[in-house]
Structure 1
């Protein structure tokens, strides 16, 4: 028995050692870590750990032990531990079937304070109330705000458009109960990062016609995803292999959530799914011509869109709805939007989504404040308190958001 145990232990050690070596080779062969980052070595280590977990999850899924997504979600909630803050009261609630978490400063400066609704990122795979708990505690405390974090349902069980519907329903419920939570109806801000920022933009547009609800004062979008048509923008070419959101991971998240077979990925990248009349209608908003020249370093304009593939279009056409791509809303809708505070990161594949949305709103005279972090990368705010693995860009972004919100 002891011999069998030792053999099993040795086999596991050899397996994990081999897996680690494979991960390191894959990282250096496929990943670009820009020198502009604050600590390239730290980034390489973190990405290798991320790749190790994802690869192990793939192995477990092939062995039918645990699905990849559930394994990753389990690991993330073990890594991102919740910290208690004596200055913030945290309450777990359910708005119907939607789990939410309320953060209230113990000593609020007034009887009626600002409200802040947060939708987390993670590509419908990662992210959770626990994962973003410390970010929300910090924001609620420093902004002296009642913060609602929405725990929308995700993959692998839920697909498009569940995230937006859950977030919209939770937001409406909260807006109807503002007085219960001591929130001033004229001082409500919505915020999100990554897919959560896209959701914040979608929810803000959906609420424009709700005359019986308080108006949103401002929207804070942190490296948002706001369109799914043009995957040939400068930042896509420049940062397609930069952690933590590579082009392959981006396309997997999109296809899985939108229930699109991954075999259509190349057609989506080339724009072969886009009818000519659709591109003519939206080109003025989605073309790389709208990206400032200073962001087009070594950018080569591709032939876009590619030859039209009707079969591919029928598979992915639900991606092109206005409800899914807030940048496609008509001018009248855009002109009614509240103030925007936009955060973009120089080393982020989604940088240009933010820049396109910025111009879209500015063209309709919507007030826009823009905070750009050249050494920032996608997902960085999650690491703001994870010393020694934190990056100063994350703290800078959160501080900028706090300054903005406190002055509106």
Structure 2
């Protein structure tokens, strides 16, 4: 009788634990449910592991994802077929170069894309996104450079940004080595990688040595740590694919590796009332509300280590002033409805459009964060990737 009770309790627990509610409108219910359960479980394990002193939470997340990726890869065909893949360094920064294996006999220069992967600057390594990088390279049919930038919390801002900028400059100096036209090179990235792509694009407008970037392409990007109470945070902050708590932790691991101010950020108390009335508040307003300009030199911040960095465009590209955003190259922004980062991308696209920058903004009402991680299994991810590659073919 006791064994029956234990079995019944186990079944009830599993039924409860595996009950992952699917947001209205999500068409890939099975994929969303599986991904939500995985990330929820990963969060529990990572936090427990840190409390037990096994390892830091971001390290456990990273190791677990890498383990799962390696196991899953054994059951799939070689996703690199048709590509020449080379691991090397650009000025000391690790990169992975994807080129078509069959080189056509032509004098025409190829296009190039420098891509920065996501993962909250902390949770994903290059091998974890190798399949996505290879997919883009094969569909695009040209050269893709994936940047294996240093990760938080071991390396905090600006390490990831610096690596991406250094690698991009190196590639632009050596495009001849890959038969790439330096005037047809773009940057791109997903999630935290979208943050890095936008930050690099802004930085490159100040460089006179290089040709202008052809495009910047941002896939559900993280662009601001100013306001964690936007509509998208309120709508989707409870979803396990990317909950508010995890996104704030990512920002803090990247900023200063100190979660002691976590609740201050979550309550939006890391910005003062003066800041909430400043132009920076207008930058994170979907209606582009006009506000009172203030000088960074006159702003007072709470006693949080390096908190003033939230206004640095290298850290949070949405905080760039209009004079800098006007110089942006043609821009592609992809957003998904069920994502705390939805409004980051929407606000960035609207600001650029208002400033006269050519923008294409694709929004997927049935999409959710991380849907691009497996475009072969997730329909909305496949649709979004096809549209993204189509944009690159036409504009790069």
Q: Name the TM-score, length of structure 2 as normaliser.
A: 0.86
Deviation string 1:338-384 (CA, Å, 9 cap, x unpaired) is 00011000111100000100111011100001111111111111121
User: Compared with structure 1, are the counterparts of its residues 41 and 406 closer, same or farther at alpha carbon in structure 2 (3 Å cutoff)?
Assistant: closer
Q: Return the offset for 1:290.
A: 4.1
2:32 aligned partner: 43
Deviation string 1:168-192 (CA, Å, 9 cap, x unpaired) is 1111111111011111111111100
Q: Which moved more, 1:36-45 or 1:220-229?
A: 36-45
Is 1:159 the counterpart of 2:156 in the alignment?
A: yes
**Aligned partners of 2:31 and 2:328: how far apart in 1?**
39
Q: Return the offset for 1:148.
A: 0.1
Q: Which moved more, 1:52-61 or 1:333-342?
A: 52-61
SS of the residue 1:132 aligns to: helix
**Aligned partners of 2:363 and 2:79: how far apart in 1?**
31
2:391 aligned partner: 404
Q: Return the offset for 1:150.
A: 0.4
**Aligned partners of 2:317 and 2:350: how far apart in 1?**
13
Pick from 230, 238, 256 the counterpart of residue 241 of structure 1: 238
**Aligned partners of 2:237 and 2:261: how far apart in 1?**
18
SS of the residue 1:274 aligns to: coil
The RMSD of aligned alpha carbons is: 2.6
**Aligned partners of 2:334 and 2:47: how far apart in 1?**
33
1:69 aligned partner: 58
SS of the residue 1:235 aligns to: helix
Q: Return the offset for 1:228.
A: 1.1
What does 1:7-406 align with in structure 2 at a 5 Å threshold?
33-81=22-70, 83-108=78-103, 110=106, 111-259=108-256, 261-279=258-276, 280-290=278-288, 310-312=301-303, 316-385=307-376, 390-406=377-393
What are the ranges of 5 or more consecutive residues in structure 2 without an aligned counterpart? 1-5, 290-298
The answer (yes or no) to whether the contact 1:121–1:197 under 8 Å persists in 2 is yes
SS of the residue 1:380 aligns to: coil
Deviation string 1:275-334 (CA, Å, 9 cap, x unpaired) is 34433222332224349xxxxxxxxxxxxxxxx995346662222223222122222211
The answer (yes or no) to whether the contact 2:337–2:367 under 8 Å persists in 1 is yes
User: Compared with structure 1, are the counterparts of its residues 260 and 155 closer, same or farther at alpha carbon in structure 2 (3 Å cutoff)?
Assistant: closer
The answer (yes or no) to whether the contact 2:223–2:317 under 8 Å persists in 1 is yes
SS of the residue 2:126 aligns to: coil
**Aligned partners of 1:367 and 1:67: how far apart in 2?**
42
What are the ranges of 5 or more consecutive residues in structure 1 without an aligned counterpart? 1-13, 292-307
Q: Return the offset for 1:113.
A: 0.5
The answer (yes or no) to whether the contact 1:234–1:288 under 8 Å persists in 2 is no
User: Compared with structure 1, are the counterparts of its residues 310 and 129 closer, same or farther at alpha carbon in structure 2 (3 Å cutoff)?
Assistant: closer
Q: Name the TM-score, length of structure 1 as normaliser.
A: 0.83
The answer (yes or no) to whether the contact 2:188–2:194 under 8 Å persists in 1 is yes
